[in-house]
Chains A and B, each alone.
Chain A
Amino acid sequence: DGGITQSPKYLFRKEGQNVTLSCEQNLNHDAMYWYRQDPGQGLRLIYYSQIVNDFQKGDIAEGYSVSREKKESFPLTVTSAQKNPTAFYLCASSALGGNRGEKLFFGSGTQLSVL
Protein backbone atom coordinates (compact mmCIF):
# COMPACT_ATOMS: atom_id res chain seq x y z
CA ASP A 1 0.00 0.00 0.00
CA GLY A 2 1.21 3.50 -0.78
CA GLY A 3 1.59 5.88 2.07
CA ILE A 4 3.74 7.89 4.42
CA THR A 5 5.52 6.21 7.31
CA GLN A 6 6.69 8.15 10.33
CA SER A 7 8.77 6.72 13.12
CA PRO A 8 8.94 6.50 16.00
CA LYS A 9 5.38 7.02 17.19
CA TYR A 10 6.60 8.35 20.54
CA LEU A 11 9.98 9.95 21.26
CA PHE A 12 11.51 11.38 24.40
CA ARG A 13 14.28 13.94 24.39
CA LYS A 14 16.70 14.71 27.18
CA GLU A 15 18.05 18.19 27.84
CA GLY A 16 20.72 19.16 25.30
CA GLN A 17 20.05 16.19 23.06
CA ASN A 18 19.39 16.18 19.32
CA VAL A 19 16.75 13.75 18.09
CA THR A 20 15.78 12.74 14.58
CA LEU A 21 12.26 11.95 13.34
CA SER A 22 11.98 9.70 10.33
CA CYS A 23 9.60 10.20 7.38
CA GLU A 24 9.45 7.91 4.35
CA GLN A 25 6.91 7.96 1.50
CA ASN A 26 6.27 5.58 -1.38
CA LEU A 27 3.70 7.74 -3.16
CA ASN A 28 6.29 9.06 -5.62
CA HIS A 29 5.44 12.57 -4.47
CA ASP A 30 7.87 15.36 -5.25
CA ALA A 31 7.14 17.59 -2.26
CA MET A 32 7.46 16.80 1.43
CA TYR A 33 6.68 18.87 4.51
CA TRP A 34 7.10 18.92 8.25
CA TYR A 35 4.41 20.48 10.41
CA ARG A 36 4.24 20.95 14.15
CA GLN A 37 0.96 20.82 16.08
CA ASP A 38 0.52 22.02 19.64
CA PRO A 39 -2.67 21.26 21.64
CA GLY A 40 -5.56 23.39 20.44
CA GLN A 41 -3.44 24.90 17.70
CA GLY A 42 -3.38 24.66 13.96
CA LEU A 43 -0.52 23.13 12.04
CA ARG A 44 2.58 25.28 11.65
CA LEU A 45 5.07 24.65 8.87
CA ILE A 46 8.66 23.91 9.89
CA TYR A 47 10.40 22.99 6.62
CA TYR A 48 9.41 21.85 3.16
CA SER A 49 11.16 20.41 0.12
CA GLN A 50 10.04 20.29 -3.49
CA ILE A 51 12.99 18.41 -4.96
CA VAL A 52 15.90 16.30 -3.81
CA ASN A 53 18.80 18.20 -2.25
CA ASP A 54 16.72 21.35 -1.85
CA PHE A 55 14.53 22.56 1.02
CA GLN A 56 13.13 25.81 2.39
CA LYS A 57 12.35 27.14 5.85
CA GLY A 58 8.75 27.43 6.89
CA ASP A 59 7.34 29.67 9.60
CA ILE A 60 9.06 28.11 12.62
CA ALA A 61 12.36 26.62 11.37
CA GLU A 62 14.55 27.81 14.27
CA GLY A 63 15.93 24.88 16.25
CA TYR A 64 15.20 22.35 13.49
CA SER A 65 17.14 20.94 10.55
CA VAL A 66 16.25 18.67 7.63
CA SER A 67 17.84 16.86 4.70
CA ARG A 68 16.46 15.53 1.40
CA GLU A 69 19.00 13.14 -0.01
CA LYS A 70 16.39 10.84 -1.51
CA LYS A 71 12.97 11.55 -2.99
CA GLU A 72 11.37 9.11 -0.57
CA SER A 73 12.91 10.41 2.65
CA PHE A 74 12.74 13.69 4.57
CA PRO A 75 14.08 13.32 8.14
CA LEU A 76 13.67 16.10 10.69
CA THR A 77 16.24 16.76 13.43
CA VAL A 78 15.09 18.58 16.53
CA THR A 79 18.22 20.20 17.90
CA SER A 80 19.07 21.29 21.42
CA ALA A 81 18.48 24.86 20.25
CA GLN A 82 14.73 24.15 20.14
CA LYS A 83 13.80 25.05 23.71
CA ASN A 84 10.17 23.98 23.56
CA PRO A 85 10.10 20.83 21.44
CA THR A 86 7.14 19.06 23.03
CA ALA A 87 4.54 18.73 20.27
CA PHE A 88 2.95 16.40 17.73
CA TYR A 89 5.05 16.34 14.55
CA LEU A 90 3.43 15.56 11.23
CA CYS A 91 5.14 14.74 7.97
CA ALA A 92 3.20 15.24 4.75
CA SER A 93 3.73 14.90 1.02
CA SER A 94 2.05 16.13 -2.12
CA ALA A 95 2.31 15.75 -5.86
CA LEU A 96 3.22 18.97 -7.64
CA GLY A 97 1.70 20.21 -10.85
CA GLY A 98 -0.99 22.49 -12.14
CA ASN A 99 -1.64 25.94 -10.80
CA ARG A 100 -3.49 25.19 -7.60
CA GLY A 101 -2.48 24.02 -4.18
CA GLU A 102 -2.09 20.30 -4.22
CA LYS A 103 -3.59 18.00 -1.64
CA LEU A 104 -1.47 17.04 1.32
CA PHE A 105 -1.31 13.48 2.63
CA PHE A 106 -0.09 12.99 6.17
CA GLY A 107 1.85 10.36 8.04
CA SER A 108 0.61 9.06 11.39
CA GLY A 109 2.70 11.52 13.39
CA THR A 110 5.36 11.46 16.10
CA GLN A 111 4.66 12.70 19.62
CA LEU A 112 7.83 14.24 21.03
CA SER A 113 8.13 14.90 24.73
CA VAL A 114 10.91 16.27 26.92
CA LEU A 115 12.18 14.20 29.85
Chain B
Amino acid sequence: QKEVEQNSGPLSVPEGAIASLNCTYSDRGSQSFFWYRQYSGKSPELIMFIYSNGDKEDGRFTAQLNKASQYVSLLIRDSQPSDSATYLCAVNNRGSTLGRLYFGRGTQLTVWP
Protein backbone atom coordinates (compact mmCIF):
# COMPACT_ATOMS: atom_id res chain seq x y z
CA GLN B 1 0.00 0.00 0.00
CA LYS B 2 1.50 3.29 -1.08
CA GLU B 3 1.46 6.01 1.54
CA VAL B 4 2.47 9.03 -0.53
CA GLU B 5 1.87 9.55 -4.25
CA GLN B 6 3.47 12.08 -6.56
CA ASN B 7 3.33 12.64 -10.29
CA SER B 8 6.67 11.30 -11.44
CA GLY B 9 6.93 13.82 -14.26
CA PRO B 10 9.13 14.94 -15.73
CA LEU B 11 7.65 18.40 -15.42
CA SER B 12 9.16 20.96 -17.75
CA VAL B 13 8.52 24.72 -17.48
CA PRO B 14 10.16 27.79 -19.00
CA GLU B 15 12.22 30.17 -16.91
CA GLY B 16 10.01 32.66 -15.09
CA ALA B 17 6.94 30.42 -15.07
CA ILE B 18 5.16 28.89 -12.08
CA ALA B 19 5.92 25.24 -11.42
CA SER B 20 3.23 23.27 -9.61
CA LEU B 21 4.10 20.02 -7.87
CA ASN B 22 1.43 17.80 -6.35
CA CYS B 23 1.30 15.12 -3.68
CA THR B 24 -1.49 13.00 -2.20
CA TYR B 25 -1.34 10.87 0.92
CA SER B 26 -3.41 8.01 2.29
CA ASP B 27 -3.45 8.50 6.08
CA ARG B 28 -6.12 11.02 7.11
CA GLY B 29 -4.41 11.49 10.47
CA SER B 30 -1.16 12.74 8.95
CA GLN B 31 0.04 15.81 10.74
CA SER B 32 3.26 17.05 9.17
CA PHE B 33 4.17 17.59 5.55
CA PHE B 34 7.54 18.31 4.04
CA TRP B 35 9.02 19.15 0.65
CA TYR B 36 12.61 18.19 -0.07
CA ARG B 37 14.67 19.19 -3.11
CA GLN B 38 17.25 16.71 -4.41
CA TYR B 39 19.79 17.51 -7.08
CA SER B 40 21.13 14.60 -9.10
CA GLY B 41 23.62 12.57 -7.08
CA LYS B 42 23.10 14.69 -3.98
CA SER B 43 21.16 14.26 -0.76
CA PRO B 44 17.69 15.75 -0.13
CA GLU B 45 17.48 19.27 1.26
CA LEU B 46 14.45 20.48 3.22
CA ILE B 47 12.86 23.50 1.53
CA MET B 48 9.36 23.73 2.99
CA PHE B 49 7.23 22.28 5.75
CA ILE B 50 3.57 22.82 6.60
CA TYR B 51 1.38 21.64 9.44
CA SER B 52 -1.94 23.49 9.03
CA ASN B 53 -4.50 23.77 6.26
CA GLY B 54 -3.93 26.66 3.91
CA ASP B 55 -0.92 28.27 2.32
CA LYS B 56 2.56 28.88 3.64
CA GLU B 57 4.90 31.14 1.70
CA ASP B 58 8.69 31.37 1.86
CA GLY B 59 10.28 33.50 -0.83
CA ARG B 60 9.44 32.00 -4.24
CA PHE B 61 8.03 28.85 -2.66
CA THR B 62 4.46 28.29 -1.48
CA ALA B 63 3.24 25.10 0.16
CA GLN B 64 -0.50 24.42 0.11
CA LEU B 65 -2.23 21.88 2.35
CA ASN B 66 -5.77 20.57 2.11
CA LYS B 67 -6.31 17.87 4.71
CA ALA B 68 -9.91 17.19 3.66
CA SER B 69 -8.68 16.26 0.18
CA GLN B 70 -5.46 14.70 1.53
CA TYR B 71 -3.50 16.87 -0.82
CA VAL B 72 -0.34 18.94 -0.48
CA SER B 73 1.30 20.96 -3.21
CA LEU B 74 4.38 23.07 -3.81
CA LEU B 75 4.34 26.11 -6.06
CA ILE B 76 7.57 27.64 -7.31
CA ARG B 77 7.13 31.14 -8.69
CA ASP B 78 9.54 32.77 -11.14
CA SER B 79 11.16 29.38 -11.78
CA GLN B 80 14.90 29.43 -12.42
CA PRO B 81 17.13 26.85 -14.15
CA SER B 82 18.73 26.30 -10.73
CA ASP B 83 15.36 24.95 -9.54
CA SER B 84 15.83 21.95 -11.85
CA ALA B 85 15.86 18.99 -9.47
CA THR B 86 13.71 16.20 -8.10
CA TYR B 87 11.20 17.29 -5.47
CA LEU B 88 10.25 14.78 -2.79
CA CYS B 89 7.07 14.98 -0.76
CA ALA B 90 7.24 13.48 2.75
CA VAL B 91 4.56 12.88 5.35
CA ASN B 92 4.57 11.98 9.02
CA ASN B 93 1.68 9.60 9.70
CA ARG B 94 -0.56 9.56 12.72
CA GLY B 95 0.88 7.41 15.45
CA SER B 96 4.26 7.19 13.77
CA THR B 97 7.49 7.72 15.58
CA LEU B 98 8.52 11.35 15.48
CA GLY B 99 10.76 11.88 12.48
CA ARG B 100 9.55 8.71 10.81
CA LEU B 101 8.63 10.06 7.38
CA TYR B 102 7.07 8.39 4.36
CA PHE B 103 8.40 9.66 1.05
CA GLY B 104 6.88 9.83 -2.41
CA ARG B 105 8.93 8.82 -5.44
CA GLY B 106 9.59 12.42 -6.34
CA THR B 107 8.75 14.69 -9.28
CA GLN B 108 11.55 15.64 -11.62
CA LEU B 109 11.40 19.33 -12.58
CA THR B 110 13.28 20.89 -15.46
CA VAL B 111 13.32 24.66 -15.92
CA TRP B 112 14.58 25.64 -19.35
CA PRO B 113 16.05 29.06 -20.18
Which A residues lie at the B interface, using CB under 8 A? 31, 33, 35, 40-45, 48, 50, 56, 90, 94, 96-109
Contact = CB atoms under 8 A, between A and B. Distances in A.
Contacts of A42: 4, 88, 103-106
Contacts of B45: 106
A33 B44 contact: no
13 contacts: A31-B99, A40-B106, A41-B105, A48-B97, A50-B98, A90-B44, A96-B99, A101-B32, A102-B98, A102-B99, A103-B46, A108-B42, A108-B43
Contacts of B106: 40, 42
Contacts of B104: 42
Given A31-B98, A94-B99, A103 B105 contact: no
B12 interface: no
Contacts of B100: 33, 45, 48, 101
Contact of A90 (B43, B91, B105): B43
B4 A100 contact: no
Contacts of A56: 97
A104 B103 CA distance: 12
Interface residues of B, number: 26
B25 interface: no
A101 B98 contact: yes
Contacts, number: 71
Contacts of B103: 35, 42-44
A106 B97 contact: no
Given A100-B32, A101-B32, A94 B46 contact: no
Contact of B42 (A31, A45, A109): A109
B62 interface: no
Nearest to A109: B43
Interface in B64-106: 88, 90-92, 96-101, 103-106
A48 B88 contact: no
A40 B97 CA distance: 26
